[in-house]
Amino acid sequence: MEKKNTTARALALEVLTRCENGGYSNIALDTVIKRNELSSSDRAFMTALIYGVIERKITLDYIISALSSIPNSKIERDTRNILRMGLYQLIYMKKIPAHAALNETVSLANKRSKGFVNAILRSYQREGNKIAFPDESDEIKYLSVKYSIGESLAEALLKAYSFADCKNMLNAFSQVAPITLRVNNLKTTREEIFNELTNALLTDFSPDGIILDNAAVSELECLKDGRVTVQDEASQICVRALGAQKGDTVFDVCACPGSKSFGAAMTMENEGEILAFDIHENKLSLVEKGAVRLGISIISTRTQDARKPIEELFGKADKIICDVPCSGFGVISKKPEIRYKDVKESETLPKIQYDILENVSNYLKVGGTLLYSTCTILPDENENNVKKFLENHKNFALVPFSVGELEVDSGMITLLPHTHHTDGFFIAKLKKIS
């Protein structure tokens, strides 16, 4: 019996195959890591290769098409993935010797396709710099191929932002996203954690955050013992903008996995009450377990569709976190599959988001604060929804807020990776004035 190939490249191919069959990259990668004993260097290489190939898929396929007389659609799935892997190493992984990238990748191919793979990769070595990419005059095609995003997303971004902003934004999304921690002030201080970690930076705006570059986060003692939790700075800014105080009653209406509930509880110094709703009952256990790890006792959970009213809770909340389900186009650096999501699949979301916002606004006391947020960068899900809500609810108004040196006089902002160095994220702060 032929021995199964379990090199890092072979395992990367296995994960990419699962993803082609509809699997999620993070789940497939985690499964393969757990089933195979890999050195830390092999694990890091495999992870970078997998996510890199997924993130650059359109670009890599464009190069394959330029080098091959066979249409991409006619190339076998595994062969196409092997070609993507080889090209990604040659183009983007400069620390990998070219001969290793080529020879080790070719060895993954079956006998029938080995010569073809070898020819394409060697052809790139000889002629790759001669490949003609789309011209900037065709903005949609240029953004799609250059930054490996679906054309529908490129078109949507160009409707909302200038061509220059789109390029800068997509370039930022193409960088490896750092890990951002939220320090748990119930157990420690930011200064203490910062001094404990190496290669750490303080967040630009959030007074609670620390940024780690290429850290093995799961191995951090401060994460295991609940002194920190993982939370992007944009999400931390959102929680700080809410302005929750000790003794408040706070509703988090789409709470899972719970980071904003946790952040509010920490800001409130674990004094008051937080009710965390979510439509997915099975996910609420994550909130409950996370609260225990962090030493938070003021959070209770409830399975609830945020579009359906609970009349006994009308007028009961001092603060509301309304972080609605969204298209997720602000986090493509962390969820590469989203790059290829058809924007049309998200056309029904603004209505769902609006219905949630309208319903949960009933829970707020007069004088209370509601934070509406998403992790997307498309106006229909963000400022257009807020404007529509304000037109129909004259008893609400946007109010300015600031977090650190971030001043938001208009009361709403879209945070962008190339300007704020965070996820793409929208925040609007609303006050119930009567």
Residues identified as active-site: 375
DSSP character for 4?
A: P
Extract the tokens encoding 168: 């800068």
From residue 301, alpha-carbon distances to 267, 283, 374, 418 in Å are 19, 10, 21, 36
Please report which residue ranges of 361-416 form alpha helices under DSSP H. 383-392
User: How far, in Å, CA of 295 to CA of 286, rounded?
Assistant: 14
- What single letter denotes the amino acid at residue 227? R
Q: By the 8 A CB rule, do 257 and 287 touch?
A: yes
DSSP character for 306?
A: T
Extract the tokens encoding 102: 């080529």
Q: By the 8 A CB rule, do 198 and 222 touch?
A: no
DSSP E strands in 255-411: the ranges are 273-278, 299-303, 317-323, 364-374, 396-398, 401-403, 406-408
Residue 32's nearest CA partner among 55, 52, 4 is 4
Q: By the 8 A CB rule, do 274 and 253 touch?
A: no
DSSP character for 281?
A: G
Burial 368-390 (b: 16+ CB within 10 A, else e): bbbbbbbbbbbbbbbbebbeebb
3-class DSSP state of 302: strand
β partners of residue 429: 371
